[in-house]
Structure 1
Amino acid sequence: MAPVESYHMIGLMSGTSGDGLDLAYCEFRLEEEKWTYELISYDTIPFPEALEKNLKGAHLLNGLELSLLDVLFGKWMGEKVKFFVSGKKIKVDAIASHGHTVFHQPDKGLTLQIGNGWALHKAAGLPVINDFRTLDVQLGGQGAPLVPIGDRLLFSAYDYCINLGGIANVSMEFAGLRLAFDICPFNLLLNHYANRKGMPFDKDGELARQGKLLPEVLKKLNNLNYYYIQGSKSLGREDLDPFFEILEEEKHEIADILHTLVQHYAIQLQLSLKPIPERKAKVLITGGGAFNTFFVETLNQVLGESFSILSPSIELINYKEALIFAFLGVLRLRGENNCLYTVTGASRDNCGGTVYGL
């Protein structure tokens, strides 16, 4: 019998929504060619007000300002990890950090996640793996999504894995291949309009529930060019202008905009999922959007009886992406592919990530 291999990792995730740093301390075990995981400890660390403002506006900074923010953010993350590790008195093999996405334009060979690796390494005193996307982009891929390799190896019990973060994306197996893509925006737009009402987000989707459907707006949203792209595709913050043009074309009540977005998202998810003939398809939903009760109810109605939406633990909803980035770090340390060409459209599978301190 082959020996059990074990890795203790910290995964860091700063999502597109920009609301804080998710930190997940995990153990991954490889036994008889099968991976298992344990989410041991976790925390979400709010960004200080000035840092949050700079991160959300990072795409507007000049070169020097962005470079300084890159180092500052890396150091800040490292300090938070060091405090977490010392407080828990835990053993850590390495940190795997997604970083904070500033630009994502794979058609131009560009994807940029800040959170300087050397600054993070020196502040934390631990090895670091970051910059998971650039290699794939240079191989002609989208550099996204990266989570599907984790879905395949850690969450194979589910037919569809959906993450509802700043962007909604899906991962699935089809004819022996892993397929995945960004479906539509999600919290990036919902939170933007909730902010206009002085709310950080629309808790439980209650404001959206109070609104009414804007049929013409819904029709225009569903006809956006993005939804006609075939194959690998991804969305970034800079791709939202067409959505804003439609939503801002006329003056609407915020509740009506949120209600219409919820309906739009549910329709786009339904179009992305195919029923399984012999049984109900199992759907795992994680990310902040899983707490949007009105959206989940709407999605249940739109999907119908052919699908079963399964509710994981609150911890998994909140920390699945951070956990999987920790797992991507394990694969990088092992020199194994952690990015799938069937998902990103790259010329081949690849092992992305830059290592610091090993």
Structure 2
Amino acid sequence: MKKRTYIAAFFFGAVLAFLLFFVKLPYYVMMPGSAQYLKPLVHVENGDRDEGTFMLTTVRMGRANVVAYLLAHIRPFYELHPVEEIKQEGESDKEYTMRQLELMEQSKEAAIVVAYQHAGKPVTNEAKGVYVMSVLPNMPAAGRLEAGDRIAAIDGQPINTSEQIVSYVREKQAGDRVRVTFIRDRKQHEAELVLKPFPHHPNQIGLGVTLRTDYDVRTDPPVEVDSEQIGGPSAGLMFSLEIYNQLVDEDITKGRKIAGTGTIDIHGEVGPIGGIAQKVVAADREGADVFFAPNEHGAPSSNYREAVRTAKKIGTKMKIVPVDTFDEAIRYLRSMPEK
């Protein structure tokens, strides 16, 4: 009898453990990540190695199991997000990962261009190809194109930028056929696709892909940016500041720990990101003196305002600074008193 009881208890425990830890719920849980020093990741040839440091901030995120779901309701700065908020419709895990890594590459390229232009150093930015980042289900490209494919031509016309594809397709009508030439695994393929409206935008037609233009950025002096496996575009501002600091003679950190977040484009405009509260917590844990937050031109729901609220909740002495452009971040750093 006791043996049966032990066996039953064992199987009950095994089933309970499976339900708690291995069954995935339709949510992602987001929590504070880390504040990572950028100096080891950015190498400008013969660049300055300054006393202060810039840090990018990250969040930790993964599919929620039952335990994570419950913890998110009791732990501060743990947030639940439905899957559809994180992944695009029909997007596979592979496509999501590819999209995040491609966004990081795009962010690094913009950061390099901005930093070199502001430092008065030579930089060129030449388009060299268009890559598929994701494919929407039930659209013409589904089952024909894949994340990572490089589109070489449409109807025999060479393609260098995603804007060229958008402009070409915009002149077409639903039902028109286009011949897409693409490269996959170093081999050239062709697919004839029939254009159709997007499910949620019936007035717009397309292939059903999201695209990214790959740019060949060349600089003098050379620079290497190792983003490891960090995905997404949110480190763009901080990468640009670290690159710039290595290019100029002065130490614009003035010996301080400078953290922050925000996307950046090639014009130096800073954009909003997700997980701002978690990133403020991560920066405070690492002892940052200053935290740059996207201001979104003073919008009531801006990243900056949420960062300020988070800073008050955790009682940090870290200074939260709003920025809309790379120039504003530089001006603030130069206005700081010497440490």
- TM above 0.5: no
TM-score, normalising length from structure 1? 0.30
Higher share of residues assigned strand:
2
Higher share of residues assigned helix:
1
